[in-house]
C-alpha cells in the first residue's frame, strides 16, 4: 500500500473529488481526516471505517483560521501526526464581470484562496517539526488560461498556483513538498446542473473526448502524496485530458 501508516487531511472530502480521494487514500493504507463544513463528511468517514480503514470526521470551515487549527489538532489527537494535506475544498459562484456581486467574489476568495492559506498555515509547523510532509493544492486549468464568467474562480486558482511556488521554496528545505493539481473539466456533483449542450462543448474541447472523473484526479493526489513523488516540488500537474498541451 502506497500510503501505509501515513496520516492525511483532505478538505472538502464530503463529496466529489474529495470523497473519492479519501476513500482511495484509505484503501492505500492512510489514516484519513475527512474535513468538511458539510456533515456529509461524517458518512464518508463511516464508509472508510466500515471498510476496515481508519478515519475521523473533522467538521470545520476552511475560511476560519481557528477552525483549521482545530482540524489539525483533531488529526494529531487521533493519529499522532499529519503527513499529508490535500487542499481540495472549493466552490464556484459564476457570473460575468459586470454582473458579479461583490459578496460572491468575496465568498469564492474566502473558500478557495484563503481557505488554502489557512489550512496550510495550520499544518505547516507540524510538518516542519517532523521534517517531512506532502502538501497538495488544488488549482484548475481555469487558473492558467481563464474562463468566461469565472473572474472570482480564476483569480483564486491562479493565486493557489502562486502560493504553491512560494511554499515549495519556503518548505522544501524543511523536507516538505508542495505541489498543485490543475484539473480540467471533471464530472462531479457540480456538473450535474450543467446543461448537456455545455457538457458536450466541454467534451469537444478536450482532446481525449470525455470529461474527467473524480478518480482521475484522486489518482494524481495519491501519486503526489506517495513516496514515488519524493523529488517533485513546486510542480503543477494538469489533469485535463490534453486541454492544455
| DSSP, residue by residue, 69-105 | HHHHHHHHHHHS---EEEE-------B-GGG--HHHH
Which residues are within 8 A (CB) of 12 and not within 5 positions of it... i.e. 6 or more apart?
18, 35, 36, 62, 88, 89, 90
Distance CA 111, CA 168 (A): 21
Q: Distance (Å, rounded) from C-alpha 83 to C-alpha 85?
A: 7
Sign, CA torsion 91/93/94/97? negative
**Catalytic annotation on 145?**
no
3-state helix, strand, coil in the chain (%, to 5): 50, 15, 30
- State the catalytic residue, choosing from 145, 153, 221, 231: 153
Enter the DSSP assignment of 186. Answer: B
| Residue 108 · residue 149 · CB < 8 Å | no
Helix or strand holding residue 54 (H, E): none
Locate cell 499544518: which residue?
A: 123
The 10 Å CB-count burial string (b at 16+, else e) for 81-113 is bbbbbbbbbbbbbeeeeeebeeebbeebbbbbb
Residues labelled as active-site residues: 153
Amino acid at each position: 500500500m502506497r500510503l501505509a501508516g501515513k496520516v492525511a487531511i483532505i478538505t472538502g472530502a464530503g463529496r466529489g473529488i474529495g470523497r473519492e480521494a479519501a476513500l482511495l487514500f484509505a484503501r492505500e493504507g492512510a489514516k484519513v481526516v475527512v474535513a468538511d463544513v458539510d456533515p456529509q463528511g461524517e458518512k464518508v468517514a463511516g464508509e472508510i471505517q466500515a471498510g476496515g480503514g481508519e478515519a475521523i470526521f473533522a467538521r470545520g470551515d476552511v475560511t476560519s483560521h481557528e477552525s483549521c487549527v482545530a482540524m489539525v489538532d483533531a488529526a494529531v489527537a487521533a493519529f499522532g501526526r499529519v503527513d499529508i494535506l490535500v487542499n481540495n475544498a472549493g466552490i464556484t459562484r459564476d457570473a460575468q464581470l459586470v454582473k458579479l456581486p461583490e459578496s460572491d467574489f468575496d465568498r469564492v476568495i474566502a473558500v478557495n484562496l484563503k481557505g488554502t492559506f489557512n489550512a496550510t498555515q495550520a499544518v505547516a509547523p507540524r510538518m516542519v517539526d517532523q521534517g517531512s510532509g506532502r502538501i497538495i493544492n488544488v488549482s484548475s486549468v481555469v487558473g492558467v488560461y481563464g474562463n468566461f464568467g469565472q473572474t472570482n474562480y480564476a483569480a483564486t486558482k491562479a493565486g493557489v498556483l502562486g502560493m504553491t511556488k512560494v511554499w515549495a521554496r519556503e518548505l522544501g528545505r524543511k523536507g516538505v513538498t508542495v505541489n498543485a493539481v490543475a484539473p480540467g473539466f471533471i464530472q462531479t456533483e457540480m456538473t450535474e446542473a450543467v446543461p448537456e449542450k455545455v457538457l458536450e462543448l466541454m467534451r469537444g474541447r478536450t482532446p481525449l473526448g470525455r470529461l474527467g472523473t473524480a478518480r482521475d484526479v484522486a489518482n494524481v493526489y495519491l501519486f503526489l502524496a506517495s513516496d514515488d513523488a519524493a523529488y517533485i516540488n513546486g510542480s503543477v500537474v494538469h489533469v485535463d485530458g490534453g486541454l492544455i498541451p
